[in-house]
């Protein structure tokens, strides 16, 4: 961040006792100071059982929470005695043997009509797409799960692939990262894939939990030629009528540039388009390339990458390589939540689960709240209440290990944006934000957020451009607050 200087205009608002721009007059939407308990689950996939949210991830790790803030670890690491699959090395020996590994990757759990819980597990060698995917079933969400068998393999060299041709990693999928979901009509599907030949979708049998026959690897949606695209997750929105395909681009480690993107379609099997109208089938590496990030950067709306805000005491806080997300839509409250793992600045490969609320902007695209979920609700604002000085993060469209730092801007009384960038802004309706910066218009929401660094509730904004670039704003805390 370049500076935290407060403009004369903003300062006059803060010092005026009768000014309606005073941040204390913003109607609070966080009813009490949040309390957090953190857990570590890589690649968290969410499922709700009654009033409890569970996340299942890689290495047979899982956790649960009733409020999305205080989490309890349920299981960790692939080991004998793991409560999910106590005899895991014996129970899943076929998958582990095929993949030449002793661990498991991103699991996904769903409850089917018989009331039982179906865990879609996957094992992968890692340095090649030698992988196996199967399903294990339990009567209780916390296990124990019993293997029902493998239904998908990849990376084979001595046998034909599932479509009857020799396996080709540039066009065939890696059989990992499953997300099994119901469409709006109650039909069961599974989207999956990582790197290699891309992201695919299969029609599933609700009675058995296995794919319907004669589909091969299914229908391709995204990727190819070893492009770094993985972690597909599907979310239908009754509000917009779209299916949103969330993806992670880049490498998952702290120097890989991991970031979360999204595209949408009116049907679960595509075609999926980004905000520019580009077909995601074209998001793939150049022929003959490996990890060609430049070819895929232009595709998909980039919702979040590595970033950091600066606190009033000069310290910084943010995320590094956030990704492999899942989502949940609360039909009763009409709220959307995003679950993901993230690393942290100067934190190496250490990672934790985070949950952020997200919203649909005026064009029907997701925009993610800048701060982790704290019980906030969308509120009603006046222009006076949102004017002032903000830190601004521009997430860009690049796949980079660089952590985006904040600029300083002012949302001024005359509808102008001044500071490190310039433009215009306006509030539409109760909380719709529209900002135009350097000729690019971003649409989103104003929403209250809880800054753990400041230990304060702050006004924030989140918005997305037609180019698929996200910006976040967080009100600057002044010495008088």
The tens digit of pLDDT for each residue in 353-364 reads 999 999 999 999
Mean pLDDT over the full length of the chain: 94
43 among known catalytic residues: yes
Q: Which of 411, 469, 417, 410 is nearest to 444 (CA)?
A: 469
What is the rounded average pLDDT of the residues 70-91? 98
**pLDDT higher than 70, residue 188:** yes
**pLDDT higher than 80, residue 86:** yes
Q: How confident is the model at residue 9 (pLDDT cuts 50, 70, 90)?
A: very low
Q: Which of 349, 141, 131, 327 is nearest to 244 (CA)?
A: 327
**pLDDT higher than 80, residue 349:** yes
What is the rounded average pLDDT of the residues 156-185? 97
Is residue 120 a contact partner of residue 108, using CB atoms and an 8 Å limit? Answer: yes
Q: What percent of the chain has pLDDT over 70?
A: 94
**pLDDT higher than 80, residue 316:** yes
Catalytic residue among 147, 230, 376, 457: 230
- pLDDT at 81 (0 to 100): 98
**pLDDT higher than 60, residue 13:** no
What is the rounded average pLDDT of the residues 227-240? 98
What's the whole-model pTM score?
Answer: 0.94
Q: How confident is the model at residue 477 (pLDDT cuts 50, 70, 90)?
A: confident
Question: CA–CA distance from 13 to each of 22, 323, 418 (Å)?
Answer: 6, 39, 16
The tens digit of pLDDT for each residue in 321-346 reads 999 999 999 999 999 999 999 999 99
What is the rounded average pLDDT of the residues 166-185? 98
Q: Output the CA torsion sign for 289, 469, 1, 309.
A: negative
For the sheet with 72-75, list strands across it. 45-49, 52-56, 62-65, 72-75
191-227 burial: b if 16+ Cβ within 10 Å, else e: bbbbbbbbbbbbbbeeeebbbeeeeebbebbbbbbbb
Q: How confident is the model at residue 5 (pLDDT cuts 50, 70, 90)?
A: very low
112-143 burial: b if 16+ Cβ within 10 Å, else e: beeeebbbbbbbbeeeebbbbbbbbebeebbb
The tens digit of pLDDT for each residue in 273-306 reads 999 999 999 999 999 999 999 999 999 999 999 9
- pLDDT at 479 (0 to 100): 61
**Residues 99, 103, 105, CA angle at the centre, nearest 5°?**
85
- pLDDT at 24 (0 to 100): 44
Q: Which of 154, 140, 43 is nearest to 95 (CA)?
A: 154
**pLDDT higher than 60, residue 73:** yes
Q: What percent of the chain has pLDDT over 90?
A: 92
Q: How confident is the model at residue 19 (pLDDT cuts 50, 70, 90)?
A: very low
Q: How confident is the model at residue 480 (pLDDT cuts 50, 70, 90)?
A: low
Q: How confident is the model at residue 26 (pLDDT cuts 50, 70, 90)?
A: low
- pLDDT at 27 (0 to 100): 65
Beta-bridge mates of residue 174: none
- pLDDT at 12 (0 to 100): 34
Question: CA–CA distance from 353 to each of 21, 206, 215, 296, 393 (Å)?
Answer: 35, 30, 35, 26, 21
Domains recognised in the chain with CATH numbers: 45-368 (2.115.10.20), 387-475 (2.40.128.10)
Q: What are phi and psi of 48, to 5 degrees?
A: -105, 135
Cα separation of 339 and 42, whole Å? 11
Catalytic residue among 43, 108, 269, 389: 43
The tens digit of pLDDT for each residue in 33-48 reads 999 999 999 999 999 9
The tens digit of pLDDT for each residue in 237-281 reads 999 999 999 999 999 999 999 999 999 999 999 999 999 999 999
The tens digit of pLDDT for each residue in 413-462 reads 999 999 999 999 999 999 999 999 999 999 999 999 999 999 999 999 99
Cα separation of 470 and 321, whole Å? 16
- pLDDT at 7 (0 to 100): 38
């Amino acid at each position: 961040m370049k500076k935290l200087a407060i403009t004369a205009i903003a300062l006059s608002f803060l010092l005026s006792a009768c000014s309606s721009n005073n941040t204390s007059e913003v109607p609070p939407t966080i009813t009490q100071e949040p309390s957090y308990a953190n857990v570590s689950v890589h690649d968290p996939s969410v499922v709700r059982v009654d009033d409890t949210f569970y996340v299942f991830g890689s290495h047979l790790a899982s956790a649960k929470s009733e409020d999305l803030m205080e989490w309890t670890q349920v299981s960790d690491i692939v080991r004998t005695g793991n409560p999910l699959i106590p005899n895991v090395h014996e129970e899943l020996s076929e998958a582990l043997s095929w993949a030449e590994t002793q661990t498991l990757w991103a699991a996904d759990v769903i409850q089917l009509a018989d009331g039982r819980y179906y865990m879609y597990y996957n094992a992968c060698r890692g340095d090649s797409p030698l992988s196996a995917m199967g399903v294990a079933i339990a009567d209780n969400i916390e296990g124990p799960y019993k293997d029902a068998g493998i239904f998908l393999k990849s990376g084979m060299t001595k046998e034909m692939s599932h479509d009857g041709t020799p396996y080709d990693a540039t066009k065939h999928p890696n059989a990992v990262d499953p997300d099994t979901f119901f469409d709006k009509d109650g039909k069961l599907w599974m989207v999956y894939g990582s790197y290699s030949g891309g992201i695919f979708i299969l029609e599933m049998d609700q009675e058995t939990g296995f794919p319907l026959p004669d589909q091969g690897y299914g229908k391709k949606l995204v990727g190819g030629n070893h492009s770094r695209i993985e972690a597909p997750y599907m979310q239908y929105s009754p509000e917009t009528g779209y299916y949103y395909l969330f993806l992670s681009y880049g490498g998952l480690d702290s120097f890989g540039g991991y970031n979360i993107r999204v595209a949408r379609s009116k049907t679960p099997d595509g075609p999926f388009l980004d905000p520019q109208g580009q077909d995601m089938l074209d998001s793939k590496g150049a022929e003959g390339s490996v990890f060609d990030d430049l070819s895929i950067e232009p595709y998909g709306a980039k919702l979040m990458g590595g970033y950091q805000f600066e606190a009033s005491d000069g310290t910084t806080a943010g995320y590094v390589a956030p990704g492999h997300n899942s989502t949940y839509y609360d039909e009763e409250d009409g709220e959307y939540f995003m679950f993901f793992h993230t690393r942290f600045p100067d934190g190496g490969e250490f990672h934790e689960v985070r949950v952020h609320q997200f919203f649909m902007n005026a064009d029907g695209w997701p925009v993610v709240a800048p701060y982790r979920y704290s019980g906030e609700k969308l509120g009603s604002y006046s222009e006076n209440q949102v004017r002032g000085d903000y830190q601004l993060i521009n997430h860009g469209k690049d796949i980079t290990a660089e952590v985006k730092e904040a600029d300083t801007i002012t949302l001024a009384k005359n509808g102008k944006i001044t500071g490190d960038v310039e433009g215009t802004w306006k509030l539409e309706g109760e909380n719709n934000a529209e900002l135009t910066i350097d000729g690019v218009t971003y649409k989103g929401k104003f929403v209250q957020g809880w800054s753990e660094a400041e230990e304060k509730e702050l006004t924030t904004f989140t918005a997305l451009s037609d180019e698929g670039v996200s910006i976040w704003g967080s009100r600057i805390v002044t010495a008088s607050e």
